[in-house]
Amino acid sequence: MAFVAGGTSGRRVLMSDEAMRALAEKAFEAKRLHRTKLARLPIERKLEILLDLQRTVNEIARAVGRPTKAEWPREILPRPDTG
């Protein structure tokens, strides 16, 4: 069986099962590597990412007229050592 995908140009592309499997494996491997990279980040960076995501979600909610959720205060981030 073959898979038909719509390209950005509007043309349809026919992919064999083998090509589709190879593409999926490549995508899953990239996803695994990205998650491993994120897991190795220091907790401070993970908190920064979380706070940025909270702010972004609230910006989108405001833009479409939906209620926002409380954001964690940025003060929870550790201060850099000024040693």
Which tens digits make up the pLDDT trace of 18-29?
Answer: 999 999 999 999
Please report, for the chain, the start and end positions of each structural domain, with discontinuous segments joined by +: 1-40, 42-83
Between residues 14 and 62, the one the model is more confident about = 62
Asked if residue 61 has pLDDT above 60, the reply is yes
Cα angle 67, 69, 74; round to 5:
140
What CA–CA distance (Å, rounded) separates 46 from 25? 27
The per-residue b/e assignment along 3-20, b for 16 or more CB within 10 angstroms, e otherwise, is eeeeeeeeeeeeeeeeee
Give all strands (DSSP E) within 1-83, no chain letters: 3-6, 12-15
Asked if residue 1 has pLDDT above 60, the reply is no
